[in-house]
Amino acid sequence: MKGIRVVLAVTAASPELFAALHGLPARSRAERVRMLATLGLVASSGGVSANAPGGHTAEAGGGGNTGPQNRATEFARALGGNV
């Protein structure tokens, strides 16, 4: 299978992503973006639930606001301890 090259510019318009990637070496940034994208795909399919820090359960697609970006952010925070 051939790879797909993606050029991505992350700006302050995405402050959480910018903060998560800022200061990482280029190869580490690329791996982190791949991992976050994979988590987002799994979360959007509703196939994962995780225990959040403090013993609370965070399920993909759960939460009060049903917007896809908010669901993904909530899920990523649950997995990463408010990364």
State phi, psi for 82 to the nearest 5 degrees: 60, 45
**Tens digits of residue pLDDT in 2-61:** 999 989 999 989 999 999 999 999 889 999 999 999 988 888 888 766 555 555 555 544
Three-state SS at 57: strand
pLDDT reported for residue 33: 92
Q: Which helix (H) or strand (E) holds 16?
A: helix 15-21
* pTM: predicted TM-score of the whole model, two decimal places: 0.53
Instruction: Count CB atoms within 10 A of the CB of residue 12.
Output: 9
CA dist list (Å): 69 to 9, 13, 23: 18, 13, 24
